[in-house]
Structure 1
Amino acid sequence: MKIEQIYTGCLAQGAYYIVSENEAAIIDPLRETKPYLERLEKDGVKLKYIFETHFHADFVSGHLDLSKKTGAPIVYGPTAEPDFDAIIAEDNQIFTIGKIKIKVLHTPGHTLESSTFLLIDESGKETAIFSGDTLFLGDVGRPDLAQKAAHMTQEELAGLLYDSLKNKIVPLADDITVYPAHGAGSACGKNMQKETVDTLGNQKKTNYALKQPNKESFIKEVLDGLSAPPKYFGMNVAMNKGGYDDFENVLEKGKNPLNAEDFEKTAEDSGALILDTRAAADFHKGFIPNSINIGLKGDFAPWVGAMIVDVQQPILLVCENGSEEEVITRLSRVGFDHVLGYLEDGFESWKNSGKEIDTIQRISADEFAEKFNENSKVIDVRKESEYEAEHVNEAFRRPLSEINDWAGTLDNNEHFSIHCAGGYRSMIAASILNSRGIRNFTEIEGGFNKIKETSVPKSNFVCQSKTL
């Protein structure tokens, strides 16, 4: 028997490849199927089942493409209603792969169809659980995503989750290995550990959710501090449940090189959003007017989903040469399938064409410190927990994820400085503000990580509520 965790850091997502004798199973695959097909061919095994723990919200799974290419059926837990052929398992139903078995444990709460897959090894020993979004390391799945579809409140779903954990997961042996669907950084939970594999026994000791004395306490603690889910989540659920275009078609359409003239004409004719995936250090020096910067070297796909939201939005790409396929692939993982093409030879070709270029003023933390005074207006786009830990004294807390709510409140006649932790998120914010005609600001290179090293006054407490 072989179990391989295939972890994708950008999405903080774990897929699983399991082999026993000449058969294999894959759990929660990513959109692109090539890595899985290569493993199957290398091992000389046949894919027998594709297991889905639930209808994912934060990424588009590769279940449909993988099933088409291998003939393997897709398996969901009880109550799932996909718009395609699939095996809808019964609670406690057992599937055989080679000499091992996978038992379906229906564990609703995160969603109604959420299921945990219990692996029973060749000797009959219960060895591991693939817990999906039911149980994470240090946390449990958020119970507020399926309210509309389930016609239930988040409190009712949290109560279901409590029952699932108490009745199906906690009674299992402490030495069972826990393989979750996500790790730290995923928006599917709030308190995940950095590790990606653990024992169930250790989770019983360290996971706050598993240590609650009763259902009422569990519901309160699990729901406390939940931020609003990214708005693209519902669209990904719809794609996972209803179907999507083949990944190869998406990739072929997107790999369309356009010279500067054609790029500009396509943008004007299509209303496409221009997405510049270069690093912030390069973007601010020069970019196509009205383009949005979300750097590829970062949490690219989740921020694309959170900022652009509409998966139907046509997109034109500005990339580092040679990264176009990676960008299209990572966009497709969160359902953004409508890439119309990319700027051939990158931004240099635009610059060499003599077309208009825009810039964003960026200064170092030391320069910011020199100019800082009691009248300086500072916008901190980090998330609330980061801000509360430490922040520039009297800075405005304006999370990037909520930029559509606060951008319109800014006074373009009053200068402000903007920062995040390291410069990635603040440049996303700067590009969005700039595209909306808000230009009277300075972005701080290195963000709060560098500001901490300066004399700028900082506070360890949450300052009074302020409005812009």
Structure 2
Amino acid sequence: MKVEQIYTGCLAEAAYYIESDGEAAIIDPLRETKPYLDKLREEGAELKYIFETHFHADFVSGHIDLAKKTGATIVYGPKAETAFDKHMATDGEEIKLGKLTIKVLHTPGHTPESTTFLLIDEKGKEHSIFTGDTLFIGDVGRPDLAQKTGEVTTEDLAGWLFDSLREKIMTLPDEVIVYPGHGAGSACGKNMSDETWDTLGNQKKTNYALRADMTKEEFIKELTAGLMPPPQYFAANAKMNKAGYASFDQVLETGAVALDPASFEEVVEQHEALVLDTRSEAAFRESHIPNSIFIGIDGNFAPWVGALIGDLQQPIVFLAEAGREEEVVTRLARVGYDNTLGFLNGGIDAWKAAGKETDSVEAITAVEYAKRLAEGEVPTTLDVRKPTEFLSQHVTTARNFPLDYINKNMNRLERNETYYLHCLGGYRSLITASILKARGFHNLVDIIGGWRAIEASEAPVTDYACPSTLSQDTIDEAINAVA
């Protein structure tokens, strides 16, 4: 028996490879099929099943392409109606894989069709559960992503999840290994651990949602409190996973096209394409194409693309570090952005050599920022972190202006005012600066290093408490103020 977790950090997503006697299964694959096909060839195994724990909202799964290329059967649990062929398993159904058995446990709550797959080894022992977004390490899935025009409420789903956990999962032996669909950093939960697997027994001791003395009413209240609105692309991704999508191979072929500066500019004009700059923070800050948007490939790239670019069909051209062009197209496609039309061949140097205009972002160190505050200058500071981050500790005079809600809140800013921007480390504030500059806000100063650098300087700060000690009313009030 072989069980391998395939973890993708930029999406905090875990897929799984299971093999026995030359037969393999993959659980919750990402969009690109090559890594899985390569793995199958290396192991000399035949892919028999592709298990999907639910209709993913935070990424586009590779189930359809993978099934077409291998002939494997796509398996969902109950209530998973799709536009493509699949096997919709029944609750309690047992599926054979070599000498192994995979038992279907319908665990609705995160979504109505959410299913946990229980792996039973060659000796008949319950070995591990693949929980998708039902149970995370330290958390459980949010229950607000699958509502249908009022037919099912968030509270209904939370109640179903309570029952699923206690009737289907917590009854399993403590030594069973929990393999979740996500780790820390995913927007599918509120308080996930950095760990990517654990034993069920340890989760019963440490996961707040599995407390033995917890009532259903307490569970629903705790689970639904303080939920940030889901990113806008979640619903579109879930629809693609349910209805189907274009071949990833075709997306890659049309997206990874090298364009010279003249062709690049022509594509932008003809298709009203968005110019996405995926280079480093320092490179963008120093020199970039006017009106381009920075979302660096080395940060939480795909989730921020999904949160900030409202139309999945938006034509996109991009700048990337040499050799990383296919990576950019791949990571865009993972969250459903399939309309990539090419990249600037030769990057910003080619753009400059062609005599094209460039722009830059003014920036200062945290030490210089603290100095200006100490000298009596009180710049308008926009702290672009999430409300809970802002509440825990912030510069005394700063305003919370979360990047998550920038498109809704831009009308609260004045174009002739100077704004100093910071986040935790510098990534989000530069994204914010690029979006604001593209919308006509040019009096911007980015604080290099963000809050970490500010905290180490002598800037006056307001010190509250860690987010876990803040009252829920305080958190909800802060979220409502900016959302």
TM-score with structure 1 length normalisation?
Answer: 0.98
1:406 alignment counterpart: 409
- Between 1:411-420 and 1:54-63, the stretch displaced more is 411-420
2:242 alignment counterpart: 241
CA contact (8 A) 2:294 2:431 kept: yes
Matched, 1:204 2:207: no
Secondary structure of the residue aligned to 2:286 is coil
CA contact (8 A) 1:418 1:426 kept: yes
CA contact (8 A) 1:133 1:182 kept: yes
2:92 alignment counterpart: 92
The letter for the 2-side match of 1:423 is G
The letter for the 2-side match of 1:418 is L
| TM-superposed deviation, 1:413 | 1.9
Could you report, residue by residue, the CA deviation over 1:47-96 in whole angstroms, capped at 9, with x for unpaired residues?
Answer: 11000000000000000010000000100000100110000000000100
Could you report, residue by residue, the CA deviation over 1:12-50 in whole angstroms, capped at 9, with x for unpaired residues?
Answer: 000000000110000000101111111111111111100
Secondary structure of the residue aligned to 2:7 is strand
Change (3 A) 1:223 1:374: farther
1:126 alignment counterpart: 126
CA contact (8 A) 2:33 2:65 kept: yes
Matched, 1:443 2:446: yes
CA contact (8 A) 1:112 1:150 kept: no
Q: Percent identity among equivalent residues?
A: 58
Secondary structure of the residue aligned to 1:56 is coil
**Match among 426, 430, 444 for residue 427 of structure 1:** 430
CA contact (8 A) 2:273 2:314 kept: yes
**Aligned pairs (5 A) from 1:203-282:** 203-211=203-211, 213-282=214-283
| TM-superposed deviation, 1:129 | 0.2
- Distance in 1, matches of 2:26 and 2:372, equals 56
| TM-superposed deviation, 1:375 | 2.9
- Distance in 2, matches of 1:451 and 1:351, equals 34
Gaps of 5+ in 1: none
CA contact (8 A) 1:131 1:179 kept: yes
- Distance in 1, matches of 2:79 and 2:453, equals 51
Matched, 1:179 2:179: yes
**Aligned pairs (5 A) from 1:64-83:** 64-83=64-83
Change (3 A) 1:60 1:15: same
- Distance in 2, matches of 1:451 and 1:412, equals 25
| TM-superposed deviation, 1:371 | 1.7
| TM-superposed deviation, 1:316 | 0.4
- Distance in 1, matches of 2:151 and 2:319, equals 42
CA contact (8 A) 2:372 2:378 kept: no
Change (3 A) 1:143 1:448: same
- Between 1:9-18 and 1:376-385, the stretch displaced more is 376-385
- Distance in 1, matches of 2:310 and 2:302, equals 11
Secondary structure of the residue aligned to 1:284 is helix
- Distance in 1, matches of 2:388 and 2:96, equals 45
- Distance in 1, matches of 2:151 and 2:431, equals 36
Change (3 A) 1:178 1:149: farther
| TM-superposed deviation, 1:374 | 5.9
Matched, 1:375 2:378: yes
- Distance in 1, matches of 2:310 and 2:128, equals 36
1:305 alignment counterpart: 306
Moved over 4 A (4+): 462-467
Secondary structure of the residue aligned to 1:49 is strand
CA contact (8 A) 2:130 2:181 kept: yes
Could you report, residue by residue, the CA deviation over 1:268-318 in whole angstroms, capped at 9, with x for unpaired residues?
Answer: 110010000011111011111110000000110001000113211110011
1:317 alignment counterpart: 318
CA contact (8 A) 2:306 2:335 kept: yes
1:343 alignment counterpart: 344
- Between 1:405-414 and 1:64-73, the stretch displaced more is 405-414
- Distance in 1, matches of 2:23 and 2:149, equals 35
1:2 alignment counterpart: 2
Tell me how large the CA RMSD over aligned residues is: 1.5
Could you report, residue by residue, the CA deviation over 1:94-135 in whole angstroms, capped at 9, with x for unpaired residues?
Answer: 100000000000000110100000000000001100000000
Matched, 1:192 2:192: yes
- Distance in 1, matches of 2:418 and 2:119, equals 59
Secondary structure of the residue aligned to 2:355 is coil
| TM-superposed deviation, 1:210 | 0.8
CA contact (8 A) 1:319 1:347 kept: no
CA contact (8 A) 1:382 1:398 kept: yes
Could you report, residue by residue, the CA deviation over 1:377-426 in whole angstroms, capped at 9, with x for unpaired residues?
Answer: 11100112211221111210111101012212111222120100111000
**Aligned pairs (5 A) from 1:13-162:** 13-148=13-148, 151-162=151-162
Could you report, residue by residue, the CA deviation over 1:193-251 in whole angstroms, capped at 9, with x for unpaired residues?
Answer: 10001000000010001115110000001111111100000110011001111111000
1:458 alignment counterpart: 461
| TM-superposed deviation, 1:150 | 7.5
The letter for the 2-side match of 1:306 is A
CA contact (8 A) 1:126 1:176 kept: yes
TM-score with structure 2 length normalisation?
Answer: 0.95
- Distance in 1, matches of 2:130 and 2:41, equals 24
2:468 alignment counterpart: none
Secondary structure of the residue aligned to 2:10 is coil
- Distance in 2, matches of 1:196 and 1:268, equals 45
- Distance in 1, matches of 2:68 and 2:435, equals 39
- Distance in 2, matches of 1:330 and 1:302, equals 10
Secondary structure of the residue aligned to 1:147 is coil
| TM-superposed deviation, 1:461 | 2.5
The letter for the 2-side match of 1:111 is T
| TM-superposed deviation, 1:350 | 0.5
